[in-house]
Chain A
Amino acid sequence: MQGPGIAWYLGIAAFLFGTGALGVLIRRNPIIVLLSLEIMLNGGNLALIAFARHAHNGAGQIFALTVMAVAASEVCVGLGLVVAINRKRLALDVDKLSELRG
């Protein structure tokens, strides 16, 4: 079965990763930041699976599954933080949560 070449997949993966990274860098709402992170991870996943297909090797797919598990945990923690921030009635704005400034 022939489909698009690997370059297409990698292109889309890079596009997703870039979009996510841009979101992380410029958005200030933590929920959106988390969403953008997910997009970055999924970009990475796409690249992994594409390589797995390309190399006829299952390891990449296993990696992708691991990344999903990590992503799920990370979202749990992240959303937990968002809830905690909300409970304290703080602004949902990552730029204002800058108490760790040296």
Chain B
Amino acid sequence: MRGGAWLCLFAPLAGTVLILLAGTRIPRRVAGWVSTASVFVAFGGAIWAFFALRASSNRAGITYTAWTWLQSGQFKVGLSVLVDPLSTFMMLIVAGVGGLIVLYSIGYMDGDDEERRYFAYISLFVFSMLLLVEGGNLLMLLAGWGLVGLSSYLLIGYWHDRPSAVAAAKKAFIMNAVGDATMALAFFVLIAHSNSLEFAASFHTADTLSSTTVNLVALGLLGGAVAKSAQIPLHTWLPDAMEGPTPVSALIHAATMVTAGVYLIARTHPIFEQARTVELVAAGLGALTLLVAGLIALVQTDIKKVIAYSTMSQIGYMFLGAGVGAYANGLFHLMTHAFFKALLFLAAGIVIHAVANEQDIRKLRGVGALMPWTKWAFLAGALALVGVPPFSGFFSKDPIIAAALHDHWYGVVMAVAALVGAFLTGLYTFRLYFIVFRGEPSAFAREHYHAHHGKEGPWTMLVPVGVLTVLAVVGGWLQFSPVWHPLTTWLDPVARTLAVAEPTNTQEAIASILAVGLGLAGIGVAWVLYGSGERAVPRVPALQRVLEHKFYFDEAYDALFYRPAVVLATWLRRDFEEPVVLATGTDLGEGALDIGEGASRIQTGLLRTYVLFVGTGLAIVGVIFLAVR
């Protein structure tokens, strides 16, 4: 168990270091394979840890500490990893789906100028996420948290000659830094009260804290989770992050990064349970985000942005599940979402790769006729996303809605939001599917479609998509809440579902029927509007404008934070920096120059003046000497 955990954690880091040290001494392809192998070795380590934990009697988890990392008086933080049901579950998803995506990158990034850098970064990304989920105390978790932010910054801005990519990377980093800061503040409060950042000690302390304090801590943690998982109000970075290469988008959305927030809530649930209000705020934010993101996705024209908004929306479901206390359901949806969202991104990547790197769905119209396999794979992912039985989304999404339904009146409100979200999911997903994959290929697609040796892509891209298609279809059969629930049982020792979030079978049935019905209705509407071409899309210019501006979040942040900062900076520059700071420097310099110029008059260069000076000096010294004596 110990070996598996450390192997899983450090294999990707070793991959990064190896690629960086080898530099141009290895061919580009080899860099890709080193990176892929390192992540698959990590997956092997995760499997090892998983089976060892299953065989072990201690299900609550074991912390392995390599050495004391920080020590300050009584406060001590070890470099430690935690192996428990939750962390092994996350390790399997991160390393497994991550490995498939890195394998896919070999085909996708082939021919890029800086492939080695890409693969070094992507291994680092997987390492960061593994550190986040395996970290044995809150500080290790925060270290992983920060590293995930850094590696996402590096990868989103991978094409650093594109100004838009650089801007998107900065935006992601700054948004995440806000979350990191609130988390760090929460940790300071915890340290002040418990003098420890160990999970157990911190959770134990949470019981004894005053409600204000525990609410503050929970709010800080929630801030971090919201920023990392792109929930309202810190969500605006996620769509922009589509500037990175497509496999990076897949990695950010499926295996690493955005799911970290859900993991954090599940991991620190004892704190959130002491601050139930904050936990419900998390659920509410999830419900709000899933609606808003679903609405925005309806008008996007970039294939990756539609999928990006659907990620926001699905993470909203996970927040809703984790927030009402159904942690296992949220994590189950995290898993199935990892499968089908990676599938959707990678399938979209095949299309983008084959059709001249075009991402505009109006130009890609009808490309499905040219790429039948990709079309079927995408369809499987889309059905899983909408939650049509027997695809995986059905099994994981409906229990979340049912769990919310069980929890008082606000639960019902959130469940209704989630049901409306299910309708929107069907609508935007199949709008995308019908436009891109159905009908006759557009002239653009026909002209630019470029098959890879008679296939739709290189095998390194097709194999991961194939595997993910299978997983997206069958992944949900792992758990069907009324009948069997191995995952909930597995996670029970660390993230027990709250009693308030355990729905009755009737509620489950109602939620399922409504969710599936509304999802299918969404598909039906999409068919009428975009598939069959029977009806034109209704025009509501005002609404469309609001949606196209993404509910004016960017504009609002611009007005609230950016503009005042610019005004302040301009004012400081004009009235402080230039007259005071800069002028002080030049004044000092000019003064010194003047003095020097005056003093340099003494240096005549004539020997006799020097002799005179020496003589005068001597005379003065002599006079003083005599006078004093």
Interface residues of A (CB under 8 A from B): 21, 24-26, 33, 94-95, 97-102
Contacts and interface: CB of A to CB of B under 8 A. Distances in A.
Contacts of A21: 611, 615
B603 A94 contact: no
Contacts of A101: 603-606
A98 B599 contact: no
A88 B615 CA distance: 31
Contacts, number: 33
Contacts of B600: 102
17 contacts: A24-B607, A24-B608, A25-B608, A25-B611, A33-B607, A94-B606, A94-B607, A94-B608, A97-B605, A98-B605, A99-B605, A100-B603, A100-B605, A101-B603, A101-B604, A102-B601, A102-B605
Contacts of B612: 25
A34 to B, nearest CB: 11
Interface string B601-623: 11111111001100100000000
Contacts of B611: 21, 24-25
A77 to B, nearest CB: 15
Interface in B588-606: 599-606
B606 A102 contact: no
Given A24-B608, A95-B606, A98-B606, 16 more contacts: A21-B611, A21-B615, A24-B611, A25-B611, A26-B608, A95-B607, A97-B605, A98-B604, A98-B605, A100-B603, A101-B603, A101-B606, A102-B599, A102-B601, A102-B604, A102-B605
A102 B615 CA distance: 21
Interface of B: 599-608, 611-612, 615
Nearest to A100: B605
Nearest to B596: A102
Nearest to B602: A102
Which 10 pairs between the two chains have the least Cβ-Cβ distance? Answer: A102-B600, A98-B605, A101-B605, A102-B603, A94-B607, A100-B605, A25-B608, A101-B604, A24-B611, A98-B606
A81 B599 CA distance: 28
A21 B602 CA distance: 21
Nearest to A95: B606
A81 B106 CA distance: 75
Contacts of A98: 604-606
A100 B605 CA distance: 5
Contacts of A97: 605
A93 B612 CA distance: 18
A15 B602 CA distance: 30
Nearest to B598: A102
A25 B606 CA distance: 10
Contacts of B607: 24, 33, 94-95
Contacts of A24: 607-608, 611
Contacts of B615: 21
Nearest to B612: A25
Contacts of A95: 606-607
B222 to A, nearest CB: 69
A100 B607 CA distance: 10
A3 B156 CA distance: 103
| Residue of B601, B604, B612 contacting most chain A CB atoms (<10 Å) | B604
| Residue of B601, B602, B605 contacting most chain A CB atoms (<10 Å) | B605
Nearest to B600: A102
Contacts of B599: 102
